[in-house]
A = this chain, B = another copy of it.
Amino acid sequence: MPNPTCAILIIGDEILTGRTREGNAHHLAGELVKAGFDLRQIRVISDDHPTIVAAVRELSGTHDHLFTSGGIGPTHDDITADAVAEAFGRSIGIRDDARAILAAHYAARGVEFTEARLRMARIPEGASLIDNPVSGAPGFSIGNCHVMAGVPNIFQAMVAGLLPRLAGGQPLLSRNWQMMVAEAAIADALRDLAAAHPAVSFGSYPFVTEGQYGTNLVARSTEPAALDAAFAALQDAFPEGR
C-alpha cells in the first residue's frame, strides 16, 4: 500500500514578504519522511480569508492529510480557524474544552485571561484539539486537516503530539554518496542506474566547496532491500565517492 499523501500549507505574509525564512515546513517534512508519509506539496499563502478557504479545500481534497501552520493567535490577522471552519462547512465559536485549557494555563501562571486570549478558544464544530504544551492555546484537527501554530517551538511541540496519532506507512529511507566531481560527469551512469532500479529514486545535488565542484547523490526508497541493492550498485559505479 502506498504511503499516505500529505500537503503542508503555511499561512503568513511574513514569509511572502521575505521577512521570515520558513522553517516549519522543513521541520515537518523531515518528521513526515520518518513516519512514512509522502509529502507532495508545500504551499505558502498570505493571511487572506478567501485564499485560505480555497487552498484548504483544494489541498485537503487532493491529499490524505493537510497540515497548516500559522494564523491561530489572538490578533486581528489570525484568521486561520475561521477560514478552515468555512472550508469544511462548519460553524465556529468558543468551545468549553478549549476555554478550560486556556483558563488553567493562565491561572497556573498568574496571567489574566483576557477577551483577546479567549479568541484562541474559537474552534470549529466537531474538531478534535491538538495539545499545545508550550503556551496553552490548542491547535485542532478537522477531517483530514490539522491546524497548528506558526511559532516554531509551538509548531514543533504540536507536531510531536499529533503525528503518533496518525496512521503512517513505510519510512522513506535514503543513502547519500558524495563525490568531488561535477554533476555532468556522472549524468549518464546515473541515468542507467535509475533505469535499472525502478523502486529507488535517485537525486543528484551539485555543490561548490573551496572552488571545487562536487555532487551529492541521494538514493531513496521505502523498500530496504531495493535501496541496499541500488546503493551497492551506486558505490560500484562511482568508487571514488564516500
- Give CA–CA (A111, B15) in the complex, Å: 40
Q: Chain B residues with Cβ under 8 A from A165's Cβ?
A: none
Question: What are the 5 A-B residue pairs with the smallest beta carbon separation, nearest first?
Answer: A18-B30, A116-B187, A18-B29, A42-B44, A74-B184
Q: Tell whether A32 is near chain B: CB-to-CB under 8 Å.
A: yes
How far is it, in angstroms, between the C-alpha of A207 and the C-alpha of B9 when the chains are bound? 21
Main secondary structure of the interface of A (DSSP, over half): mixed
A45–chain B nearest beta-carbon distance, Å: 6
Whether A77 contacts B204 by the Cβ 8 Å rule is yes
Q: Are A16 and B45 touching (Cβ within 8 A)?
A: no
Q: How many residues of A contact B (CB 8 A)?
A: 65
Please encode chain A, from 23 to 43, with 1 for each CB lying within 8 Å of some chain B CB and 0 for all others: 101110111110000011111
In the assembled complex, which residues on chain B have CB atoms less than 8 Å from the CB atom of A117? 184
Q: Does A153 contact B (CB under 8 A)?
A: yes
Residue in B26, B74, B153, B207 whose CB lies within 8 Å of A208:
B153
8 inter-chain pairs at a CB distance below 8 angstroms, sorted by A residue, are: A15-B42, A16-B29, A17-B174, A18-B27, A18-B31, A42-B44, A76-B190, A151-B206
Whole-angstrom distance between the alpha carbons of A52 and B149 in the complex? 30
- Chain A 193-205 against B: per-residue CB contact (8 Å), 1 yes, 0 no? 0100000011111
